[in-house]
Amino acid sequence: MSEITIKYAQLVDLASLQTLMDDLYRVIGIPNAIIDTDGIVITSAGWQDACVKFHRVNHNTCRNCIESDTALVESMLKGERFAIYKCLNGLVDSAMPIIVEGQHVANIFTGQCFIEPPDLEFFREQARRYGFEEASYLQSISKVPVISKLRLETITKMYAELAHTFAKHGADRSQQKQAAAELAELNNELNRRVEERTEQLIQNNQHLLLEKRAVAASEARLSALFKHMSSGVAVYRASEDGRDFTIIGFNKAAEQIEKITRKELIGKKLTEMFPGISEFGLLDVIRRVARTGEPEAFPPSFYRDERIQGWRESYVYKLPNGEIVSIYNDVTERKLAEKALHLTQFSVDRATECLYWITADARFQFVNNTACEVLGYSREELLSFSVMDIDKYLAAEDWPAHWRELKQKGALKMEAIHRCKDGREIPVEVAANYLVFEGLEYNCAFVRDISERKALQAELERQARIDYLTGIANRRYFMEQGEAELARHDRYGNPLSVLMLDIDYFKAVNDNFGHAAGDQALKKLGSILVDVLREIDIPGRMGGEEFAILLPETGLLKAIDVAERLRSVVASSAIPVESGQILKFTVSIGVATLIDKNSSIGDLLNLADKGLYQAKHSGRNKVCSFSQ
């Protein structure tokens, strides 16, 4: 018996398949087409302008396209599982066969892309050779995606598996219908033989015996088919008014689906044993099939009563003897998976964190809406990028080590700087998670914008270092900077000096002008230090009216010059106070220079403090140095 030829278009819902392939193109960005083995285009999505508007229009370049198509088809006919071909027009196409029930029924074609950056000079020459308008042609070439060969094969495989799944589902439905037809044919054969053999019974008892044996064999085949089908099968007989039905057959698969035994059901009314059948909608279908004799498919619907609930998909037809057969499947798991997928996609698209699915070659496989909003790129743009395109400090040569670490640990948390389309750079926290799915490695990365947190940390750190009144370093930060400068002195041998300042008669300032005026004097001194000193010099408030200054790369004589300049500027300054008076004040300054390499910053400050003591007790408004 010859094998039945399967036609791909007869297995699938073409409109649903086209919608799916269009959606996949919009997500992935790689064109696709399904063409059966007779050369008929089943679906196509996302053809590139370079092909549609140029290559397929020009007679010569169209011949190149046909050569590419022919080469790929020949590869499929040779039994190759994947074929890739760079056509003479410069673009790359690939193909995989679609095999259903062991038959090669169609091919999936993807491509119209590059697997390496295009040679624009080649396409300029091609524009001149075939008379294409160069700017428009090169613009269409720039829209062609560049992906790796591995990713092209992965995408082609995904398209092929989806196309195969659609066809397999259709083949399963076809098998159900075929089984139903076989069941009906067997029943008709049984009735015919019974009638023939009954007539012959009158003529010959021997013939009757042979006929009984034949009937028994047919019944055995019918019973075996009914018993071992993977789908549930129920057989009904209509009541006299055609409104209800008696259950007269129920196979094992149906017992498992409905969680009830055949013994409990046979001879009972359908509406009695399945009280939700009317609301479910199947009762109307059974009544209609019983009345018209026309078979009907009942789409997936949710059944519920006090005993059971779940999704069912049915096919109902009428036997010649008037009995009604319903072949059905429990599709609850499939519907729950579809619901979970829908809910997951809804959650992902509305998550406040950026979500990226990243392949082992650092390319983006999927990005959610938040990622597009935060970075300012479209989904298509991001899916053409690698991680290095948005991560400021991640270099391509560092990616393999990063991936190995993620693969070893399973999860990583880190901070990074991401570049936005408008040029902004934002600090982010990345939670990377390693996953293997269908043999391919992925990083599922959740990314959070931490700009506000970083700004708060910076402000807190600044407040922890700066004296709130004067705006210069506080004592703790000044000492930290002093230790750092001391270490730099030890390393490079550059001189280091320190000044100690104290406002003269500061108590009298507070007593005569008030504490607010005293605060103004402290602020004024802080601003003078910032204005007069170099950027590398470090002023700090040590407490009260006492200040200190670190002078890196400064010897004793130069330090004394700096101190005298500060003293002079302070003495010439004047501060208007609330009473209308003018406040003037002076400072005494002690100077010390590091000589002993074993000295600490505290030792150096003590020396400067002794110089300050000398200046105070020799008349104030003076500069004195103290040597070891």
In a domain, 345, yes or no: no
Question: How does the average pLDDT of the chain come out, rounded?
Answer: 88
Tell whether 249 is covered by a domain: yes
Say if residue 488 is in the same domain as residue 547.
yes
**Residue 204's pLDDT band (boundaries 50, 70, 90)?**
low
d(CA 502, CA 500): 7
Let me know whether 191 and 238 are in one domain. Answer: yes
Q: Are residues 236 and 100 in the same domain?
A: no
Residue 102 has pLDDT above 90, yes or no: no
- pLDDT tops 90 at residue 25: no
Based on the domain organization, do 436 and 477 belong to the same domain? no
Q: Is residue 344 part of a domain?
A: no
| C-alpha–C-alpha distance, residues 320 and 537, integer Å | 105
Q: Is residue 14 located within the same domain as residue 49?
A: yes
In sequence order, what are the residues at sequence separation of 6 or more whose Cβ sits closer than 8 angstroms to the Cβ of residue 54?
61, 130, 132, 137, 140
Full residue range of the structural domain in which residue 85 is found: 8-167
Tell me: the pLDDT tens digits for 575-605?
Answer: 998 878 899 999 999 999 988 777 888 999 9
Highest mean pLDDT out of 24-33, 212-221, 562-571: 562-571
Query: When comparing pLDDT for 217 and 249, which is higher?
Result: 249
178 and 162, same domain (yes or no): no
Classify residue 544 as exposed, middle or buried by CB count within 10 Å of its CB (0-12, 13-18, 19+): exposed
For residue range 368-406, what is the model confidence (pLDDT) as tens digits? 999 999 999 999 999 999 999 999 999 999 999 999 999
Q: Are residues 100 and 199 part of one domain?
A: no
Residue 208 has pLDDT above 70, yes or no: no
Q: For tokens 């798991």, what's the residue? A: 333
Position 335 confidence tier, pLDDT thresholds 50, 70, 90:
confident
The domain tally of the chain equals 4
Q: Is residue 409 within a helix (H) or strand (E), and if so which, with residue range?
A: helix 399-409
pLDDT confidence of residue 596: 78
Q: How far apart are CA 18 and CA 555, in angstroms?
A: 82
More confident residue, 201 or 567: 567
Residue % of the chain over a pLDDT of 70? 93
Please pick, among 353, 480, 545, 578, the residue that the annotation labels catalytic: 545
Same domain, 161 and 202: no
pLDDT value of residue 314: 94
The answer to the question of residue 147 being in a domain is yes
DSSP 153-178: HHHHHHHHHHHHHHHHHHHHHHHHHH
CATH number at residue 239: 3.30.450.20
Domain co-membership, 471 together with 613: yes
Burial class (CB in 10 A: 0-12, 13-18, 19+), 165: exposed
The pLDDT of residue 219 is 46
Task: Say yes or no: 193 and 228 in one domain.
Answer: yes
Average of per-residue pLDDT across 91-110: 89
pLDDT (tens digit, 9 = 90+) per residue, 265-313?
999 999 999 999 999 999 999 999 999 999 999 999 999 999 999 999 9
How confident is the model at residue 185, as a pLDDT? 82
Last residue of a domain, one of 122, 137, 167: 167
429 among known catalytic residues: no
Is 183 within a domain?
A: yes
pLDDT per residue over 457-467, tens digit each? 887 778 778 89
Say if 1 falls within a structural domain. no
CATH number at residue 152: 3.30.450
- H helical segments located in 320-390: 332-349, 369-375, 379-383
Mode of pairing for the β-strands spanning 103-113 and 309-318:
unpaired
Residue 459 counted as domain residue: no
Among the three residues 115, 136, 167, which one is the final residue of a domain in this structure? Answer: 167
Q: Find how far residue 608's CA is from the centre of its chain.
A: 62
If you search the block for the tokens 């509305």, which residue do you land on? 350
In angstroms, the CA 126 to CA 354 distance is: 42
Do 237 and 248 contact (CB within 8 A), yes or no? yes
CATH of the domain at 494: 3.30.70.270
How does strand 425-437 pair with strand 411-419? antiparallel
The pTM of the full predicted model, rounded to 2 decimals, is: 0.40
Q: How confident is the model at residue 221 (pLDDT cuts 50, 70, 90)?
A: very low
Q: How far apart are CA 482 and CA 513, in angstroms?
A: 35
Three-class SS of residue 256?
Answer: helix
Are residues 442 and 485 both part of a single domain?
A: no
**What pLDDT does 207 receive?**
56
**Last residue in a domain, options 167, 197, 216:** 167
Question: 87 and 134, same structural domain?
Answer: yes
